[in-house]
Chains A and B, each alone.
Chain A
């Protein structure tokens, strides 16, 4: 670094070209603005969040003082926290299990050539590419307590009896199932596209060779496709987990955590506590419970990256 700076100083006339050629200076200069922005707008708020969680900051007052782990103690003592934590886990695990199954089936179906593929792909991608808050509003109408099209169809097909009219978002178990369905609906397209990219990167030769050796469809799928697809499947799953575990949009728009906090998740509860309740410190404490999972996912990512570097 010292020689580089010395160089830049000695030749004042040509410093511009020297700088443009000096990679040891050029790389940091090109990276610095982006890194600075990220540090200021992700790093700083994050540490502020840590700080808030051990203070008594509220929306109304300017003063704040250190209260230690009081917020965490207070949060852990409420039933809503444990309900939210449990719901977040159920919400994430159940939805991502179905996403994995559905996306694998769908990716395989889409990897074949057929007419109208472009249109099919557009239709299948819609939930992912349309703003999710608007998609969720669409579901709110589908789940409507009086005019639900699901219930109408169910009765017309005689799956539901004449007096059965489930209130999708109003009964605890149904409400949970409803938000899980919407989350599956939302993530399946992304996972499918990622898996599809993985599928197309497997050379056809491998399949042909196996077919010549007498391996059938299932054997090829289980012993060739799945193992080769594993790293990219992991990427899809990690994304699904992050987008689900930390998300509040679906729950916020469909149930507001109701009925009686039965579908409350950590993210929505942090919002209701911190922003609508004005208890910034409490909200920060709740939101930080999302962090351990993020760290775990990040570590898996790093291991994945390192392993793929070796091979």
Chain B
């Protein structure tokens, strides 16, 4: 291809490339653009089919955001999500960091099988487990409490992060620890003092992904939590803001946007590392 210097071909190719990107950006990002538009439109403007919906036919308004923060417990849902996220991330790190390291350094036929077995448990979906969990949570007296989520969410973050961390630890050369051990550190000491500091970026990636898995989760949240003050964002918005036939579209779209965009930006910074750690076990 590089040997065809015709300008026309190059322009055509650039045009084709651009139109592919435009198509996918339109398809994938449109709902978020639409959330943004809806958030700032007046209710009258939203409910007028005769006018162009892509334009502000009335001046933009903040009324929907005011409703969201004053008349709903949106802020509380954000706080709940954050609190559950932090607790789950801590539990996950305590369990997954040592396990990931052990799996990365273990030798013998068991090591890989065990790694894959742990990863496969991540694939067991909430839709198979939520029924027994509903009973377990009720027996423990945790229904309607955020503790139920703190207890259950590590069931998918731990397998996922163990696998992710295993990938990162495998990428760190063994020689580093061997050198440290010759200098008098134990295996555990080498792990804590040599491997951990250089894996900080990998661990941070695991933290981000455990946290986003928590913010994404819906099935357990909708099964265990029934009172509005204990909702997480992903359950609260669709359950509370849809009341029978009344849809508070402006507030709802604002709620979706506010919760989505910060996560998206942070996630985007880490996505390359994520893929590297994630696929190392499956493909390499």
Contact = CB atoms under 8 A, between A and B. Distances in A.
A127 B20 CA distance: 18
Contacts of B261: 130
B129 interface: yes
B34 interface: yes
Given A30-B102, A125-B268, A37 B32 contact: no
Interface in B27-59: 27-32, 34-35, 38, 46-47, 49, 52-54
Contacts of B152: 41
A216 B118 CA distance: 43
Given A109-B20, A126-B264, A137-B237, A31 B103 contact: yes
Contacts of B118: 34-35, 38
Contacts of A34: 95-96, 98-99, 118, 158, 162
Interface string A227-252: 00001100100000010001111001
A126 B159 contact: no
Interface in A195-230: 196-198, 211, 216-217
A45 B247 CA distance: 37
Which one of B29, B31, B96, B212 has the greatest number of beta carbons of chain A within 10 Å? B31
B102 A31 contact: yes
Contacts of B227: none
A141 B34 contact: yes
Contacts of B105: 23, 27
B28 A126 contact: yes
Interface in B107-151: 112, 114, 116, 118, 120-121, 123-125, 127-136, 151
B164 interface: no
B264 A122 contact: yes
B130 A271 contact: yes
A194 B276 CA distance: 9
Contacts of B253: 137-138, 141
Interface residues on A, range: 35 or more
Nearest to B224: A275
A159 to B, nearest CB: 15
B68 to A, nearest CB: 13
B233 interface: yes
A160 interface: no
B98 A33 contact: yes
Contacts of A31: 98-99, 102-103, 114
Given A129-B212, A130-B260, A290 B127 contact: yes
B263 interface: yes
A261 to B, nearest CB: 17
Contacts of A301: 116, 120, 282
Interface in A82-138: 102, 105-106, 109, 112, 114, 118, 120-127, 129-138
25 contacts: A21-B188, A31-B103, A33-B94, A37-B158, A48-B136, A49-B128, A59-B134, A106-B24, A109-B24, A125-B264, A125-B267, A129-B212, A131-B218, A141-B249, A147-B53, A188-B24, A246-B127, A249-B219, A267-B125, A267-B127, A270-B131, A284-B132, A287-B128, A287-B130, A294-B125
Q: Can you list the 6 inter-chain pairs with the closest CB atoms, starting with the nearest?
A: A130-B260, A246-B125, A34-B99, A30-B98, A20-B188, A48-B132
Interface of B: 1-2, 17, 20-21, 24-25, 27-32, 34-35, 38, 46-47, 49, 52-54, 94-96, 98-99, 101-103, 105-106, 112, 114, 116, 118, 120-121, 123-125, 127-136, 151-152, 154-155, 158-159, 162, 186-189, 212, 215-216, 218-219, 222-223, 233-235, 237-238, 247, 249, 252-253, 255-256, 259-261, 263-265, 267-268, 271, 275-276, 279, 281-284
Given A41-B152, A105-B20, 8 more contacts: A20-B187, A38-B159, A46-B132, A126-B28, A189-B28, A242-B125, A287-B127, A308-B284
